[in-house]
Copies of this chain bind each other. A is one copy, B any other.
């Protein structure tokens, strides 16, 4: 799964990283009522309880099952219930019905986590050294996988809360995008052949590599993402009413789904407000626009006389350190999600991790306030279908030519 060159794992740092990731996931559930754990507000979202159980199932299936002698699963049906999409592992409970499982209860799922945690930590402590190196890379993949679910857990709860007329508050302490008051500026990058993709130096997902050469023309990229204030100009200029700005599929989405603004925007008597993790609040002009689809990002860019950056342009800029990269919002790129030249997925079920989704999705780069720290790196490739809006997704402009 990982494309990093093998490094030596020591038991203590392995245990610590594992345990702290597991704790962080549960920390993100601290403000939830039992009832909230079961919410699935649309097929693309999963209930918090499912995220808790699925990330546990991953460790149970890929670490404990092959490495613990006489392994017995915690519950014989959990494999069926909490497999997400690993076809090689067998049948699974339909994704759209994840919210219909009141049992196992939340308490039982936490028991499941405890039981697997203990076994993993015991395994790390007791396994012999050669086997340790063998399982360490899967455990490392497992916590990186769980970290991805940490972000989804937050976006999925936000979506479910956002449709409840009571507009529940996730947490008053949840962060907010800070945004940037400074005017947007352009950074120029000269044409040339660039070596992009992850070459080593710590964990990375397989889809971040292999490193490869890409020829880029002269381009410029904005120093920061587009802000609420700028996006409002697009709306007020008829952005959602004029097909000329839109891709054909995007315009169909606007019409069929009655989009008139980003997700979570509500128009009231005193103007727009937005639903956030801290409840409703008035719109702040300098914050980055968020919860827009690729189609909206693309339409805005066309309206603005610019375009979206390719993922290669964004990575070039990201590496340079000359543009915004704080992790307020992911930004949609112009790049469909495909394999890098020479990409080969890992053997076995773990190989289903990334490769089989390389169709019908667009790459996002950057990271958001809900992204675990280590995942905000220049080579990280996030990907979602072009109509997805419930992620913390914004945009950053680019254009052709030298300054």
Residues of chain A having any CB pair with chain B under 8 Å: 33-41, 77, 80-81, 85, 87-88, 93, 97, 99-106, 160, 163-166, 168, 193, 212-215, 217, 243-244, 246-251, 294-295, 298, 334-336, 338-339, 341-342, 356-360, 386, 400
Contact = CB atoms under 8 A, between A and B. Distances in A.
Please list the 9 inter-chain residue pairs (A to B) with the smallest Cβ-Cβ separation, ordered nearest first: A87-B243, A336-B336, A35-B102, A34-B34, A36-B102, A248-B356, A215-B215, A213-B215, A103-B168
Nearest to A251: B87
Copies in the complex: 4
23 contacts: A35-B37, A35-B38, A35-B102, A35-B105, A39-B100, A77-B165, A87-B251, A88-B243, A88-B244, A93-B165, A99-B100, A100-B160, A103-B168, A193-B193, A213-B215, A214-B215, A217-B341, A217-B342, A246-B356, A247-B358, A248-B357, A248-B359, A249-B360
Contacts of A359: 247-250, 294-295, 298, 386
A247 to B, nearest CB: 5
Contact of A248 (B85, B246, B249, B334): B85
A105 B164 contact: no
B80 A165 contact: yes
Given A214-B215, A249-B359, A334-B338, A244 B87 contact: yes
Which of A87, A213, A248, A295 has its CB near the most chain B CB atoms (within 10 A)?
Answer: A248
A356 B242 CA distance: 13
A67 B4 CA distance: 64
Contacts of A168: 102-103
Contacts of A213: 215, 217
A341 B215 CA distance: 11
Contact of A166 (B103, B335, B336, B356): B103
Contacts of A400: 341-342
A160 B102 CA distance: 9
A102 B338 contact: no
A252 to B, nearest CB: 10
A237 to B, nearest CB: 17
A38 B34 CA distance: 10
Given A35-B102, A247-B356, 12 more contacts: A33-B102, A35-B35, A35-B106, A36-B102, A81-B165, A87-B251, A100-B160, A104-B166, A217-B341, A247-B359, A298-B359, A334-B339
B35 A164 contact: no
Contacts of A106: 34-35
Contacts of A244: 87-88
Given A88-B244, A214-B215, A243-B88, A163 B100 contact: yes
Nearest to A351: B244
Contacts of A38: 35, 38, 102
Contacts of A165: 77, 80-81, 93
Given A243-B87, A247-B359, A249-B359, A39 B102 contact: yes
A336 B334 contact: no
Contacts of A87: 243-244, 251
Contacts of A193: 193, 215
A163 B101 CA distance: 9
Nearest to A102: B35
A40 B249 CA distance: 22
